[in-house]
């Protein structure tokens, strides 16, 4: 049942301005550059100038190895590295690490499923995902997923989860213990030698290699530039983001057919047109249609959400996002990572520029399926100088921390961080990428990706995408220090 504009307008009137923050994170930032480790924010143990100590774990300490700056008391180990570590089959770890999920394995083992955002002609990719027998969708495509078995001793094993896909960007884990990997592309057969159409979601089982054989695209979830997906464990709905422009992308919801029960491998049994794929249509507390999420310029902005059915989910002649006339759906530039937590979905819009009505350097929204509302939780103003360490920009992958708040992977310009944000809204850096893949005169630091905690909450896994390095970060996560 959708929330009608009349119902939302009435509800907003009863609650004043219609601002009802949900979830445990609260309002995380407000002004330009507010989500930043600047002098006023203060790191843990640092006075903010008003006799208060800021959140976090202290300043980041430069890494003698030139990889990852961390606070005192924290350390990292390299789990996988493209062109260095190897799979069980002998091939090197593929490149372009991206979205990642963790699963509890036997005897303290952590299983990770790792996306590899590889595109273009397979022959031109230095380290594509190997074409493991029985696990290939399209032999001409370079992308896919690997599964990493990480032991407490530091020992690892790696194998292919799915191969022959394109630009596996983010994705999402399921309540039944599998990984949904998303192709961020609309490439059709014939482009770059591809033999099949792409732009789909595939399911990968980290526990059962046999379940991954004969990969099948989940066409019921649509064909477009997929970014991330989350599952509502109570209602069975799937929410999906689209990273695209001209025009900007959409937020989608897939409603399963009546009587369908989720479970391991069940999505593969669905017909291509099963269920209903819908796009979000938002309106403000006055019942006015909102054309783009960038219109929201204040933390706490709440939009009501209706859902509009997609006419042709397989985009046979027209891209899905282009099938709607103006005034029908709400768009967002760079709709990126998502994470299910606090009874709803946290949704990232990485930035907005000329493609959008307002400019920003990042938003995080919270969708409450019970109230059928989107609430703006994080807003980053345009970063005036990304080359300077301090202000943050370009949020991408996101996770909810077991210690409260959010952990965000930065994919912006200039300096790149992992960012922590407390429930009360104070923010701080957790890590900084120190691996310069550019030159001394023109430095270049790759984005962070695949940020996720281990099942026991003791280890934070994250990757720098280029050249492709996954880290396991440990330290005193529960330490918060004294407060004034």
| Residues 433-477 pLDDT 10s | 999 999 999 999 999 999 999 999 999 999 999 999 999 999 998
Task: With H, G, I as helix, E, B as strand and everything else as coil, classify residue 337.
Answer: strand
State the pLDDT at residue 423: 64
For tokens 């999920």, what's the residue? 101
Are 231 and 238 a contacting pair, CB within 8 Å? yes
Is pLDDT of 391 > 70?
Answer: yes
Q: How confident is the model at residue 129 (pLDDT cuts 50, 70, 90)?
A: very high
Distant-in-sequence, close-in-space partners of 107: CB < 8 Å, separation ≥ 6 = none
Q: How confident is the model at residue 426 (pLDDT cuts 50, 70, 90)?
A: low
* Element of type H or E holding 457: none
Distant-in-sequence, close-in-space partners of 63: CB < 8 Å, separation ≥ 6 = 69, 70, 434
Distance CA 120, CA 132 (A): 19
Q: Among 138, 141, 132, 145, which Cα is nearest to 88's? A: 132
Is pLDDT of 70 > 90?
Answer: yes
Is pLDDT of 28 > 60?
Answer: no
State the pLDDT at residue 239: 98
Distance CA 117, CA 264 (A): 25
Q: What is the pLDDT of residues 314-355, one digit of tens each?
A: 999 999 999 999 999 999 999 999 999 999 999 999 999 888
Tell me, rounded to whole angstroms, the distance of Cα 415 from its chain centroid.
19
Distance CA 256, CA 262 (A): 9
Q: What is the CA radius of gyration of the chain?
A: 21
Q: Among 148, 175, 142, which Cα is nearest to 161's? A: 148
Which of 40-49, 99-108, 397-406 is the least confident region?
Answer: 40-49
State the pLDDT at residue 58: 86
Q: What DSSP state is assigned to residue 7?
A: H
Residue 181: strand pairing partners: 171, 202
State the pLDDT at residue 243: 95
State the pLDDT at residue 383: 87
The whole-chain average pLDDT of the chain stands at 88
Is pLDDT of 51 > 90?
Answer: no
State the pLDDT at residue 163: 98
Are 457 and 476 a contacting pair, CB within 8 Å? no
Q: How confident is the model at residue 480 (pLDDT cuts 50, 70, 90)?
A: very low
Are 278 and 225 a contacting pair, CB within 8 Å? no
As a whole number, mean pLDDT of residues 394-422 equals 91
State the pLDDT at residue 175: 98
Distance CA 129, CA 115 (A): 10
Q: What is the pLDDT of residues 276-293, one digit of tens each?
A: 999 999 999 999 999 999
Q: How confident is the model at residue 53 (pLDDT cuts 50, 70, 90)?
A: low
Distance CA 200, CA 220 (A): 9
Is pLDDT of 124 > 90?
Answer: yes
As a whole number, mean pLDDT of residues 398-402 equals 94
Q: What is the pLDDT of residues 146-171, one digit of tens each?
A: 999 999 888 999 999 999 999 999 99
Tokens of residue 210, six digits: 């046999």
Residue 399: strand pairing partners: 407
Distance CA 431, CA 180 (A): 27
Are 19 and 296 a contacting pair, CB within 8 Å? no
Burial class from Cβ neighbours inside 10 Å (0-12, 13-18, 19+) for residue 268 reads middle
More confident residue, 427 or 400: 400
Distance CA 90, CA 127 (A): 12
Are 411 and 350 a contacting pair, CB within 8 Å? yes
Q: Among 413, 419, 416, 407, which Cα is nearest to 435's? A: 416
Phi, psi for residue 459 in degrees, rounded to 5:
-125, 135
State the pLDDT at residue 81: 98
- Long-range contacts of the stretch 194-198 (C-beta < 8 A, 24+): 194/138, 194/140, 194/141, 194/166, 195/138, 195/139, 195/140, 196/137, 196/138, 197/223, 198/138, 198/141, 198/165, 198/166, 198/223
For tokens 């099948």, what's the residue? 216
Task: With H, G, I as helix, E, B as strand and everything else as coil, classify residue 220.
Answer: helix
State the pLDDT at residue 432: 97
Is pLDDT of 16 > 80?
Answer: no
Is pLDDT of 275 > 70?
Answer: yes
pTM: 0.90
Q: How confident is the model at residue 425 (pLDDT cuts 50, 70, 90)?
A: low
Cβ neighbours, 10 Å, residue 436: 13
Cβ neighbours, 10 Å, residue 31: 11
Q: How confident is the model at residue 7 (pLDDT cuts 50, 70, 90)?
A: low
Distance CA 101, CA 452 (A): 6
Tell me the three-class secondary structure of 84-145, residue by residue. Answer: CCECCCCCECCCCEEEEEEEECHHHCEEEEEEECCCCCHHHCCCCCCCCCCCECCCCCCEEE
Q: What DSSP state is assigned to residue 442?
A: S
Burial class from Cβ neighbours inside 10 Å (0-12, 13-18, 19+) for residue 449 reads buried
Q: What is the pLDDT of residues 161-213, one digit of tens each?
A: 999 999 999 999 999 999 999 999 999 999 999 999 999 999 999 999 999 99
Q: What share of the chain in percent tops pLDDT 70?
A: 87
């Amino acid at each position: 049942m959708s929330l009608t504009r009349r119902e939302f307008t009435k509800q907003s009137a009863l609650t004043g301005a219609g601002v009802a923050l949900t979830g445990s994170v609260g309002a995380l930032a407000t002004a330009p550059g507010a989500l930043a480790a600047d002098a006023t924010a203060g790191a843990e143990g640092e006075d903010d100038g008003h006799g208060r100590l800021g959140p976090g774990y202290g300043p980041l300490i430069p890494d003698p190895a030139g990889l990852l700056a961390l606070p005192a008391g924290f350390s990292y180990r390299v789990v996988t590295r493209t062109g260095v570590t190897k799979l069980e089959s002998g091939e090197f770890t593929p490149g372009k690490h991206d979205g990642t999920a963790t699963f509890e394995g036997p005897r303290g083992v952590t299983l990770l499923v790792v996306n590899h955002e590889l595109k273009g002609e397979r022959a031109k990719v230095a380290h594509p995902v190997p074409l493991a027998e029985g696990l290939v969708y399209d032999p001409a495509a370079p992308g896919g997923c690997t599964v990493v078995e990480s032991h407490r001793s530091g020992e690892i094993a790696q194998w292919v989860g799915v191969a022959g896909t394109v630009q596996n960007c983010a994705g999402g884990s399921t309540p039944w213990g599998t990984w949904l990997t998303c192709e961020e592309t609309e490439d059709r057969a014939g482009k770059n030698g591809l033999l099949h159409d792409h732009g789909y979601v595939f399911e990968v089982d980290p526990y059962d290699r046999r379940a991954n054989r004969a990969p099948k695209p989940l066409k019921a979830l649509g064909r477009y530039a997929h970014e991330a997906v989350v599952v509502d464990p109570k209602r069975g709905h799937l929410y999906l983001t689209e990273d695209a422009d001209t025009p900007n992308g959409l937020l989608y919801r897939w409603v399963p057919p009546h009587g369908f029960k989720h479970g391991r491998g069940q999505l593969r049994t669905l017909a291509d047109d099963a269920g209903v794929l819908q796009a979000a249509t938002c309106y403000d507390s006055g019942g006015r249609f909102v054309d783009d999420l960038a219109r929201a310029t204040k933390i706490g902005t709440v939009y009501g959400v209706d859902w509009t059915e997609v006419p042709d989910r397989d985009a046979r002649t027209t891209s899905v996002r282009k099938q709607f006339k103006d005034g029908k759906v709400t768009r967002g530039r760079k709709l990126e990572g998502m994470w299910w937590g606090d009874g709803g979905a946290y949704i990232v819009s990485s930035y907005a520029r000329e493609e959008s009505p307002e400019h920003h350097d990042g938003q995080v929204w919270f969708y409450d399926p019970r109230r059928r509302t989107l609430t703006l939780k994080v807003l980053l103003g345009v970063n005036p100088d990304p080359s300077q360490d301090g202000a943050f920009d370009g949020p991408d992958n996101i996770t909810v921390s077991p210690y409260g708040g959010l952990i965000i992977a930065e994919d912006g310009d200039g300096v790149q961080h992992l960012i922590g944000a407390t429930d009360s809204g104070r923010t701080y850096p957790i890590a900084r990428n120190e691996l310069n893949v550019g030159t001394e005169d023109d430095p270049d630091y790759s984005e962070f990706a695949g940020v996720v905690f281990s099942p026991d909450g003791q280890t934070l896994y994250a990757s720098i995408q280029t050249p492709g390095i996954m880290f396991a970060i440990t330290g005193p996560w529960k330490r918060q220090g004294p407060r004034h």
